[in-house]
Chain A
Amino acid sequence: MKRARIGPWIALTLGTLYFIVPLIATFEFSLRMRRGEYSFDAYRVVFADARFQATFGYSSLLALATIIVGVLLVVPTAYWVNLRLPKLRPVIEFITLLPLVIPAIVLVFGYLRLYNSESWLPMTGHEQATDLLLTFGYVTLALPYMYRAVDNGLRAIDVRTLTEAAQSLGAGWPTILFRVILPNVRVAVLSGAFLTFAIVIGEFTMAALLNRPAFGPYLQLIGANRAYEPSALAIIAFAVTWACMGLINLVGRGARTAAPAP
């Protein structure tokens, strides 16, 4: 009995140590800016840095735009595939998985070739146009997560019958989509949204190569030039990601207690 239980505990302990020790070490190091005592000076410096505020704000804004574009793209597509084109599901799933296989660097070089200032559509020539390009890039990166989340949500409800019920009551497509389908996959959409947010906040390659002032490149810049601040930033980035995960759980649980599936 005793021995059978020890094995899993050892595995769990080793796993936990593997993840926790570097995190604790980083945190500990980030507190050592002031000589001889622990302090949050590194954090104070980071938060006071105008570039931190600017890049974090910029990335948050882009994350928001990415989420909106992503939801508007993915929800109707996944809905239509579920409703009318179930045979196409494997194809669509394959397409949504492609961003995991194709590195972001390939994608962004493709962008630069297609949309550079000498091309027929010189999007990289203007800041706003580049932002748009970056948003679309982010939508692509987040696609596997967003699509899977929404598709799972749609499979949990009887899309076809709900659609037909709404139709027979006189509803048109916009009403069905926004008043019947979307509210019933709200939790799925939100978890897709938080994942998207976490991805966009930490993304480096695209923003750097498109030369936009995003949070990812800022992290890299600080990391290359400072001692304590990068550790503080790493902890902050962790906190943001975990906050997103926590929100996914919270929203999921909240929705379940408020209106559990029948």
Chain B
Amino acid sequence: MAFLEIDHLRKAFGQITVVEDFNLAIERGEFVSFLGPSGCGKTTTLRMVAGFESPTSGIIRIDGKDVTEAKPNQRNVGMVFQSYALFPNMTIAENVGFGLKVAGRPAGEIKTRVEEMLALIKLPQVGGRYPYQLSGGQQQRVALARALAIKPKVLLLDEPLSALDAKIRVSLRQEIRQIQRELGITAIYVTHDQEEALSISDRIVVMSQGRMEQVGTPFEIYNYPRTRFVASFVGTLNVLKGQVVDAAAGKVTIDGQPIASASHLNGAKPGEACSIALRPEAVSLTDPTSGANSLQGMVEEVSFLGSVVRIRVRFGENAISLDTFNKPSVAPPAWGTKVTVSFARDALLVLDGAEAA
């Protein structure tokens, strides 16, 4: 049995359902992210796990115990908020020790634990300061220490980094992940930043409009998106409109040029329109190896991004963005040059027929 089980969870505010049929089993020590656009129900789901919202229906179990109806202060769940939410009237040490003090632990034990926690977040000197005397990044680390001090069963983080600037976001997310690994604590991390979710999660739950779109490792989510939504929300995606030639053999034409997909197009009739997707990094500017697809087009745009050069090639109605590594010895093609792009058959993602328009 999984450590944290969410079973047929549903939440409605009045007439509006904001979370629907949410099912998830999280193993002990796993780091799971909820990823999705604004308003898709990530926070609401997390708040139900924390106990701040009560589910309309469904069950939440932590460590085998049904906590669906338990009050937030009886769940032993640590929470980190976007706005840090440190207590302004208390010093950093008092903040970190708050949970233990509430639990009635002896002063000596609290002191030791606070020092341990401050060392863990690499801020051993700040115990006597007040929250307003720390930077945003430091405050959020203290908030993490405060949540962890009570040795919670589950750590919940709701967009903990979105109030910070880009550089700190990257370093702090790695620090959070490292601390989580070190302590082996089960964690749920809410974010709308796909890069963040991909870089630190064991598994990602992609959500849209209150529904789970897909659950999987970052590798699975990125490479094998199961719905069009996942494919377009996670990473950059080229969506091509084609016409079916032979559904069983996966043969399609793109602006009149034939290509073939490794997967077949379930039940489509010849002549029908279909949608096919390609990741920029799956496309190259070299000549095709045997069996690979190729398309002839014209360079429409070249963006130099540093280590990567992104090139857009147009074929007619369709265009593809592709990424090549920057090589100082090879200049990127000029605008308007005629080029051949190639990609493997299995790089083509056939998007859900129903959603292909």
Contacts and interface: CB of A to CB of B under 8 A. Distances in A.
B85 A167 contact: no
A161 B88 contact: no
Interface residues of A, number: 22
Given A164-B52, A166-B98, A259-B130, A172 B88 contact: no
Q: Which among A168, A170, A171, A262 has the highest number of chain B CB atoms within 10 Å?
A: A168
Interface in B65-114: 71-79, 81, 83, 85-89, 98-99, 102-103
A161 B99 contact: no
Interface in A192-218: none
A165 B50 CA distance: 10
A158 B82 CA distance: 12
A184 B87 contact: yes
Given A169-B150, A172-B73, A262-B131, A183 B89 contact: yes
Interface residues of B, number: 30
B98 A259 contact: no
Give the secondary structure class of A's interface. helix
Contacts of B130: 259
Contacts of B79: 164-165, 168
B185 to A, nearest CB: 14
A170 B83 contact: no
B307 to A, nearest CB: 38
A262 B75 CA distance: 30
A261 interface: yes
A162 interface: yes
Nearest to B50: A168
Contacts of A106: none
A175 interface: yes
A100 interface: no
6 nearest CB pairs, A to B: A169-B99, A168-B79, A183-B89, A165-B85, A262-B132, A167-B72
Interface of B: 50-52, 71-79, 81, 83, 85-89, 98-99, 102-103, 130-132, 143, 146-147, 150
